[in-house]
Amino acid sequence: MSNIRLEAIKETFNRKPLEVAEQGKRSDLFQVNVFNEMSMRQFMTKEAFTSVMDAIVHGKKIDRKIADQVASGMKAWASSKGATHYTHWFQPLTGTTAEKHDAFFETQSDGQAIEKFGGGQLVQQEPDASSFPSGGIRNTFEARGYTAWDPTSPAFIYGTTLCIPTVFVSYTGEALDYKAPLLRALQAVDQAATSVAKYFDKNVTKVNATLGWEQEYFLIDKALAYSRPDIVLSGRTLLGHSPAKGQQLDDHYFGSIPSRVMSYMRELEMECLKLGIPVKTRHNEVAPNQFELAPIFEEANLAVDHNTLLMDVMDKTADKHNLKVLFHEKPFAGINGSGKHNNWSLSTNTGVNLLAPGSTPMKNLQFLTFFINTIKAVNEHEELLRASIASATNDHRLGANEAPPAIISVFIGAQLTKVLDELEDVSKGKLSPQEKTDLKLNVVGKIPDVLLDNTDRNRTSPFAFTGNKFEFRAVGSKANCANPMTVLNTIVAKQLMEFKKEVDALVAKKSLKKDEAIFNVLREYIKASKKIRFEGDGYSLVWEKEAGKRGLSNNRKTPEALKAMVSKKTIELFEEMSVMNKIECEARHEIELEEYTLKVQIESRVLGDIARNHVIPIAIRYQNTLIDNVRGLKDIFSKEYKKLASEQMDLIEHISYHIAEINSSVSAMIEERKKANKLEKSQIKADAYCEKVLPFFDTIRYHCDKLELMVDDDLWPLTKYREMLFTK
């Protein structure tokens, strides 16, 4: 009888790092497969080029006739690079990317080839996508969805296919994907931030949100990954005893990268650069076989596209190297999980990072304005921000003692805390000349120096200021960044609009000078958003209690956390900022609840199957060996056998006990699943899966893991933690 685990292990012994040839200087590889400015100039008419640039920079519409010219240039470029097909590339709410490839050419009945790629094909497509989740939107309106070109994210060639980034919307205009609401949120924050930035510099005409994600992931040998049905079907291990050595020695972090992984990373980086993903850093992470990859930050929409594309490139490249990437937030119990830190800031068309202090007091006041408004925005909408990162998989990471808790708070460091404390004392109304000078010289003016030696790092904070950007750390490694970015930019847009209104009102009514008005409003904001600021240990129980007293939300589980997506406050916010309407909010909520239920349901089935069909039979087989042994001893020694076989008999009893526990728990879990499946309402069903089905996982796992420790290693069918984590 073959044991898939042992065969997989044997296979890994023969692995060698794949030879990866350098394909030239890294800088020469950058964007070779992207229809960037340079290729556009080369392959497009001047008129078409100007029109696309106008669309990118000013959001102008592209004329249909011009679209024909753009399409023909794009096709010429793509063909020159060997592309034979094109696809509208989009991000449906399934969490991956979707594409349907069409050839550039088609033959007619007379045998002539006709051109299939014109402006029409570039601008709009119907992806026949009735199987993508829409939360009922499509049924309600009996409308089909279509994809529409997003000129702000450049087309690229992936394999032999020209990929055109698109949004996916219904014919009635509702967003069916991640990108459409993100683009609307980015527009909202552009408008609001530009109007506020104009207080400080009249030349600002556009503000871009910037995003630099840091992608954490695990890499394990492909054969080992495929030997585990739980990894194949749910992306994580549902059972498995912790290895004798875990990460307690901290010897993996920043250690030398294993050679197979190194050649994987080298190939991956070259592929990324060709696609225009500006990857920059790579290193080991805390857990064994855990790594991280980070790019240079970009405009947020592009960065989101690049992250989703990256995840696909990572998958494909890993396969070539006989590796499997685990994007799951918690693939191994008891070992650090993976996140995707979202570094975020706002940047003007004049090249200024609005969250970086400047060289003059006025520039620093600008920094403080955006800094304090962001804190205030998080303070007002912490629960929605928490909802934006909620998923069945991230639930295993948040609050798991090594990741940010489910409570959102903002960390700013001791130095900036001091600055805000001083600003809180600014007098109401007009400021005396003395106070103004003092503020400018001693408080605002000192910020750059103060920040220069700001070495404060608080890894336990879910939302931390890190010198010139905020870092949203609670985002899951598997997540599409669009969701948290849509929420963050929307709440900041809303907050900046309020701010502008309040400052303008003070200037008009109380005839305060502009800077006096700004100080006055900021002072009140600092006071109003104290509850969200926390500098201590975010993992501690003390904080959980304190946060409760402060009235911060602590929604540990997804079905609970998602409620904030459809609260009155959220719907009003999204409608006011023209990001989503009520139908879209409700549809998304519905989709996420269903996704939660499905994920737990799948895991529950897989776990039941592994426990009953893999673990129990092997335990029985081993138990039978023990029974034979005891019988043999009895035959030989008659009376004395009890003493001689006492250990074996003990084991036989324990094995029976664990088998019985597993069996009854699996049965009870199936019963709960049946009950849950009969529930109609998505919320109630998801709640049932969360509260009634999920709790069995730990019990079943506990007993399976005990058996793993008892059963003969040669028989055990599931690849063990030590084998998956320490095979290099």
Q: Which residues bind ligand ADP (CB under 6 A)?
A: 210-212, 214, 294-297, 343-345, 353, 466, 468-469
Return the bridge partners of 218, or none.
Answer: 290, 326
CB nearer ligand ADP, residue 105 or residue 254: 254
Q: Which residue type does 706 have?
A: K
- Residue 209 beta carbon to ligand ADP: minimum distance, rounded to whole angstroms: 8
Each residue 286-325 as x (binds Mg ion by CB under 5 A) or -, in order, gives ----------------------------------------
Strands (E), 176-277: 207-221
CB nearer Mg ion, residue 341 or residue 494: 341
Q: Which listed option, Mg ion, ligand ADP, none, makes contact with residue 411 (CB within 5 to 8 Å by class)?
A: none
- Residue 394 beta carbon to Mg ion: minimum distance, rounded to whole angstroms: 18
First to last CA, the chain: 28
CB nearer ligand ADP, residue 239 or residue 302: 302
Q: Which listed option, Mg ion, ligand ADP, none, makes contact with residue 641 (CB within 5 to 8 Å by class)?
A: none
Q: Which residue type does 701 have?
A: R
Q: CB nearest ligand ADP: which residue?
A: 212
Q: Which listed option, ligand ADP, Mg ion, none, makes contact with residue 97 (CB within 5 to 8 Å by class)?
A: none
- Residue 455 beta carbon to Mg ion: minimum distance, rounded to whole angstroms: 14
Q: Which listed option, ligand ADP, Mg ion, none, makes contact with residue 581 (CB within 5 to 8 Å by class)?
A: none
> What sections of 510-540 are H helices per DSSP?
514-528
CA distance 329 to 518: 42
Q: How many CB atoms lie within 10 A of CB 70?
A: 29
CA distance 455 to 419: 16
The residue count for binding Mg ion (CB under 5 A) is 1
63: left (phi over 0), alpha (psi -120 to 50) or beta: beta
Q: Of all helices (H) and strands (E), which one includes residue 28?
A: helix 26-29
Angle at 241 between CA 237 and CA 247, to 5 degrees: 85
CB nearer Mg ion, residue 465 or residue 696: 465
- Residue 355 beta carbon to ligand ADP: minimum distance, rounded to whole angstroms: 7
CA distance 516 to 506: 9
CB nearer Mg ion, residue 88 or residue 341: 341
Enumerate residues 6+ apart whose C-beta is below 8 A from 717.
3, 4, 5, 614, 615, 618
- Residue 579 beta carbon to ligand ADP: minimum distance, rounded to whole angstroms: 21
- Residue 688 beta carbon to ligand ADP: minimum distance, rounded to whole angstroms: 40
- Residue 414 beta carbon to ligand ADP: minimum distance, rounded to whole angstroms: 17
- Residue 414 beta carbon to Mg ion: minimum distance, rounded to whole angstroms: 19
CB nearer ligand ADP, residue 420 or residue 481: 481
Q: Which listed option, Mg ion, ligand ADP, none, makes contact with residue 469 (CB within 5 to 8 Å by class)?
A: ligand ADP
**Helix, strand or coil, per DSSP, at residue 459:** coil
Each residue 404-443 as x (binds Mg ion by CB under 5 A) or -, in order, gives ----------------------------------------
Tokens of 132: 């993508």
CB nearer Mg ion, residue 341 or residue 386: 341
- Residue 716 beta carbon to ligand ADP: minimum distance, rounded to whole angstroms: 40
Tokens of 269: 């980086």
CA distance 720 to 706: 13
CB nearer ligand ADP, residue 211 or residue 571: 211
DSSP structure string for 195-215: HHHTTT-TT---EEEEEEEEE
**Helix, strand or coil, per DSSP, at residue 219:** strand
CB nearer ligand ADP, residue 117 or residue 297: 297
CA distance 600 to 606: 10
- Residue 385 beta carbon to ligand ADP: minimum distance, rounded to whole angstroms: 17
> What sections of 388-481 are H helices per DSSP?
414-423, 433-438, 447-452
Q: Which listed option, Mg ion, ligand ADP, none, makes contact with residue 38 (CB within 5 to 8 Å by class)?
A: none
CB nearer ligand ADP, residue 189 or residue 585: 189
- Residue 292 beta carbon to Mg ion: minimum distance, rounded to whole angstroms: 9
Q: Which listed option, ligand ADP, Mg ion, none, makes contact with residue 699 (CB within 5 to 8 Å by class)?
A: none
CA distance 265 to 271: 10
Nearest to 279 by CA among 259, 298, 252: 298
Enumerate residues 6+ apart whose C-beta is below 8 A from 371.
355, 412, 416, 465
Subset of 328-347 contacting Mg ion (CB under 5 A) = 341
Q: Which listed option, Mg ion, ligand ADP, none, makes contact with residue 79 (CB within 5 to 8 Å by class)?
A: none
Q: Which listed option, ligand ADP, Mg ion, none, makes contact with residue 704 (CB within 5 to 8 Å by class)?
A: none
Q: Which residue type does 555 have?
A: N
How buried is residue 640: exposed, middle or buried, by Cβ count under 10 Å (0-12/13-18/19+)?
exposed
Q: Which listed option, ligand ADP, Mg ion, none, makes contact with residue 210 (CB within 5 to 8 Å by class)?
A: ligand ADP
CB nearer ligand ADP, residue 299 or residue 504: 299
Q: Which listed option, ligand ADP, Mg ion, none, makes contact with residue 725 (CB within 5 to 8 Å by class)?
A: none
CB nearer ligand ADP, residue 3 or residue 194: 194
Enumerate residues 6+ apart whose C-beta is below 8 A from 505.
none
Q: Which residue type does 675 have?
A: K
CB nearer ligand ADP, residue 170 or residue 345: 345
Q: Which listed option, ligand ADP, Mg ion, none, makes contact with residue 212 (CB within 5 to 8 Å by class)?
A: ligand ADP
- Residue 341 beta carbon to Mg ion: minimum distance, rounded to whole angstroms: 5
**Helix, strand or coil, per DSSP, at residue 555:** coil
CA distance 84 to 117: 11
- Residue 172 beta carbon to ligand ADP: minimum distance, rounded to whole angstroms: 35
Q: Which listed option, Mg ion, ligand ADP, none, makes contact with residue 124 (CB within 5 to 8 Å by class)?
A: none
Residues of this chain that interact with Mg ion (CB under 5 A) are: 341
